[in-house]
Structure 1
Amino acid sequence: MAANATEFPYSLTITLPLPSSHLASSALRTLEVDTELSPFVRRDLELVAPSASTPAPEAGKMEIEGEEKSVLKTTYRATTNRMLRVAVNGFMESLGVVLGVMQELDVDVLEMDGVKEDE
């Protein structure tokens, strides 16, 4: 059910590119289990292709067909800016746990900048 802009005037969209559609799908399935508890907040999760997650430089640009959906797009809507902030903070904590598990359990899934496993 889409949230009405009048009822939920505050919104934020978070796009998280992941290395593969498999990981993006795993993150989506993991995060969508926990629904928003507050009736004052709405959250929509979806997978999109990398080109669909960024605005096109020219108005006529078409999305590349068959492109892998590896970007997790999360849209929050809330009745107040405080409710939006609280909901997004909780989501970011959950997202941190999901990414941490992916990093620890999957070999070479998320690259660590400048850190080697042997050190």
Structure 2
Amino acid sequence: MADPEITVQWKKEPDEHDYPAAADYLEMLAEPDVIEQVLRALRAAPVTHKKAKDLLRASQLEILPSYNPYVRRDLAKITSGKALSPILVVRGDFRKGVPMQIVDGYHRVCAIYYADENIAIPVKIASLP
């Protein structure tokens, strides 16, 4: 689907419901006090921009298939010009072989990859305490 004419619309900040979704994912990886610290750091983090291909590489995640219903939904939003929410990530540590974690927005990253892997995605990045 890569099309140089594609323009993706982005919200300035993540949706409020993205933070509880991130916490729900993080509950499988960390204790509640760590999750609270990470969420505070994510809320305070500035929005930066990263390419879809780099987010997938740093997270060591495989791209979801384009027929995944949530990827399809986000591709439809891109096509219709609906604004997407920025991605929330927790920084990894390459020295220890720890990948970055996409704690909210994996489907959006995959949809953007299908649209154009070089599109700059707004991202909030937190480090583990």
TM-score when normalising by structure 2: 0.27
In terms of Rg, which structure is larger?
Answer: 1
TM-score when normalising by structure 1: 0.29
Bigger fraction of residues in strand: 1
More relative contact order, 1 or 2 (CA 8 Å, 6+ apart)? 2
